A and B are shown apart, each in its own frame.
Chain A
Amino acid sequence: MNLTREPESYPRPQNVPAWLGRKVIFLARGMGRALMLLASAVRTIFPHAFTVRARREIGNQMYIGGIMSLGVVTVVALFTGMILALQTGIELRRFGQEVFIGSAVMMSMLREMGPFMSGIILAASVGASIAAQMGTMVVSEEIAALEVMSISPVRFLVMPRLVAMAIMTPLLSLYGCLMGVLGGGIVGETQLGVAWAAYIQNSTRFVGVKDVYVGMLKAFVFGIIIVIVACHEGFGTTNGAVGVGNSTRRSVVISFLAILISGFFITRFFYV
């Protein structure tokens, strides 16, 4: 598979149906290509991911993508939990049931907010940086050089990032859930008069294994989406520096949409 693409130009569509039809075809083509990229990256995992050099690179990517996002995930998750607790707390107070903020925060963090939040944060930071890096490498002929040296960019560049983010996104999501619950607890204690012990007891009361693993699965899928979309868009860069900007932007927008849509379907599949 040739990763980089020749620039294409098509005549301007003449009417709305033509324009719409073209959009649909390009969308289908883009999805097909991205899935093929995913398939070829997965195929390289087993023979290649366990060499010393690959393991080191995966570790490096886990650090860049995961550890370096800890700060922003901490802040966002804390405040998400605090907002959730405050909003639900205000409503529940009317019924004198403030203590239930614990399970409200825990459930929404585990099921939706944790994976979603880490997905969005990573798509906007790690995904954007991957797309920009790949795009720049296309423009400066580095991808071409790798291909000519028969060093597969899929194995050398995509696979380590894919493995790293498939591991780190669920972990970050779980960490985000804990931070969210902590934030909720702080609000409960200071604003709503819910004692810490009661809060924790209430929040763990209804949690099932399913809430944890479906959330983790979601984050896992999001991690894969982020890397594949970013690499796919990056490799498709044409047109120099402007092209790199476009690819980065498209990568962020597309992974946001893909995260939302796939998140809905995973929820639908497991909870309905």
Chain B
Amino acid sequence: MIRFDRVSKSLLGRLVLNDVSFEVAKGASLAIVGPSGAGKSVTLKHMICLLRPDVGSVEIGGDAISEARGSELDRIRRRFGVLFQSSALLEWLTVAENVALPLREKTAMSEEDIISTVNERLRLVGLEEDREKHPSELSGGMKKRAGLARALAEDPEIVLYDEPTSGLDPVSARSIDNLINTTRKDLGVTSVVVTHDLHSALSVGTSIAMIYRGAIVEMCSPSEFVRSENDIVQQFLKAQYITDSGAWEIKQ
């Protein structure tokens, strides 16, 4: 569904993606982990063509989005729902209006259908009470959830999550993880989740990729990941107290 073919990218003269290749199958879920500044968000931005690769190509379901322009680009982008790292809600609209925005602007849905879809999405993320609030009145975690509701508004085929759980308390974080899992399983969406949080990555990913300094240093299934010999992965695991791979598997 998503295919990176030898993508390299420099920003401000610095190589931030170095020959990155990977594939995400339809219905699968890739968790991308890595330290801050490693290039996770940049990778995600290439998938929706907010950045174009200097070298290499990015394909979405067979269409080269990295080459697409104009209406072709719009058509490919329509398959996506995106939760941005900063949530990216429009400040002058209420939560409900933000979620309704893509439906109002792009579809011919009737107002009743829009309202019922919006209500349903807000219920999904637990924000029905706050539907009339503006983004500036929300906490960081609530903004994340509102952004998530908007990302899911149009029944996307592919959902990209940039740090969906950062800034959330552990209980909400786990409930977001569950939400990611249920949308993937119930709606069959393909998902890519960028996160610092290995617990989250291990529970939502069908595979996990570790990015370090713009390169993928490890990409494998969660159970292989916790046993990885790679130094950087080991450091990351230790730092999050996932020292006992056996215990993690039992928990599963």
Contacts and interface: CB of A to CB of B under 8 A. Distances in A.
Contacts of A145: 82, 84, 88
Contacts of B89: 142
A49 B146 CA distance: 29
Contacts of A8: 12
B235 interface: no
Given A7-B11, A9-B12, A142-B89, A149 B105 contact: yes
Interface string B76-98: 01101010111011110000000
A6 B11 contact: yes
A151 B82 contact: no
Contact of B50 (A144, A149, A156): A144
B104 A150 contact: no
Interface in B128-183: none
B240 to A, nearest CB: 27
A156 B104 CA distance: 12
Contact of A144 (B74, B88, B101): B88
By CB atoms of chain A within 10 A, which of B45, B89, B90 has the most? B90
Contacts of A53: 104
A150 B105 CA distance: 9
A85 B251 CA distance: 86
B84 A151 contact: no
Nearest to B153: A149
B187 interface: no
Dominant secondary structure at the B interface: loop
B105 A151 contact: yes
Given A141-B86, A150-B78, A6 B51 contact: yes
A7 B10 CA distance: 10
Contacts of B48: 148
A156 B80 contact: no
B105 A156 contact: yes
Nearest to A145: B88
A211 interface: no
A50 to B, nearest CB: 15
A97 interface: no
B107 to A, nearest CB: 11
Contact of A140 (B78, B88, B104, B105): B88
B82 A148 contact: yes
Contacts of A149: 77, 101-102, 105-106
A170 B197 CA distance: 56
Contacts of B62: none
A148 B102 CA distance: 10
Contact of B12 (A7, A148, A150): A7
A140 B82 contact: no
Interface string A134-149: 0001001110110111
Contacts of B105: 149, 151, 156
Interface string B89-121: 111000000000110111000000000000000
B50 A147 contact: yes
A173 B125 CA distance: 50
Contacts of A142: 88-91
A7 B85 CA distance: 19
A8 B36 CA distance: 22
Contacts of B90: 137, 142
B103 to A, nearest CB: 10
Contacts of A9: 12-13
A8 B89 CA distance: 27
Given A6-B11, A6-B51, A9-B12, A150 B106 contact: yes
A220 B91 CA distance: 30
Contacts of A137: 90
Nearest to A10: B13
A145 B105 CA distance: 13
Nearest to A7: B12
Interface in A88-126: none
Contact of A151 (B11, B12, B13, B106): B106
Interface in B31-73: 45, 48, 50-51
Given A144-B45, A150-B77, 8 more contacts: A6-B51, A137-B90, A141-B85, A142-B88, A142-B89, A149-B102, A151-B101, A151-B105
Interface of A: 4, 6-9, 53, 137, 140-142, 144-145, 147-151, 156
Across chains A and B, which 3 residue pairs bring their CB atoms closest together, nearest first? A145-B88, A141-B88, A150-B74
30 contacts: A4-B50, A6-B11, A6-B51, A7-B12, A8-B12, A53-B104, A137-B90, A140-B88, A141-B84, A141-B85, A141-B86, A142-B88, A142-B91, A144-B45, A144-B50, A145-B82, A145-B84, A145-B88, A147-B50, A148-B48, A148-B77, A148-B80, A148-B82, A149-B77, A149-B101, A149-B102, A149-B105, A149-B106, A151-B102, A151-B106
